[in-house]
Amino acid sequence: MRIIIDMDEVMADNFPSFYREAKERFGIVVGPEDHVGKKVYDLPGLAGVRKILYEKGHFRDLPVIENAVEVIRELYEHYEVYIVTTATEFRYSFLDKYEWLEEHFPFIHHSRIVFCGDKSIVHGDFMIDDKAKNLATFSGTGLLFTSSPNLNERRYHRLNNWLDVRDYFRQERAGRTLDEA
């Protein structure tokens, strides 16, 4: 079984840098509750926050989402796990993201990392992503990882955090084992 895992807002948390930029550059204090159903840079007066995505080092210094390392390591032991991340729009994101993965997820082999511009080319059994548009073109089971911009989305099974991911796949493995017996 193949699991496709998105990076931004699933493994790596972009929001603290957006909040910091909003405050430092625009004097606007923003939190998760302020952008339910939308991106931080879609808020009035914050379109300029998006430019940090084009800056060298942005993707390199993001914090890891809680429990991601432990749960992905566990999944990696039981499934064919691929990290699939959009990287072609942001010039510096290739190296930044690769180095970030090397540091925080050294157990993921380089052949299991896919940089792309359109995730519709990816195939697998499960995809964990925070964007419904990526799940909409996926041929397997789409699993929506909770993020402020997607809180209004209702079309996909929702996983609120990495402990939910662990529970989901433990149940999947237990069900598969029972079905195979």
Query: If DSSP codes are grouped into helix, strand and coil, which group holds residue 80?
Result: strand
Nearest to 52, CA basis, from 65, 62, 37, 64 = 62
Query: If DSSP codes are grouped into helix, strand and coil, which group holds residue 158?
Result: strand
The structure tokens 């390392």 sit at 69
Q: Is 118 a catalytic residue?
A: no
Check 8, 96, 129, 130 and give the catalytic one: 8
Number of residues in the chain: 181
User: The tokens of 4 are what?
Assistant: 């496709």
Check 6, 96, 129, 130 and give the catalytic one: 6
Q: Is 8 a catalytic residue?
A: yes
Beta bridge mates, 126: 3, 141
Distance separating alpha carbons of residues 59 and 87, to the nearest angstrom: 10
15, 148 Cβ separation under 8 angstroms: yes
Cite the active site residues.
6, 8
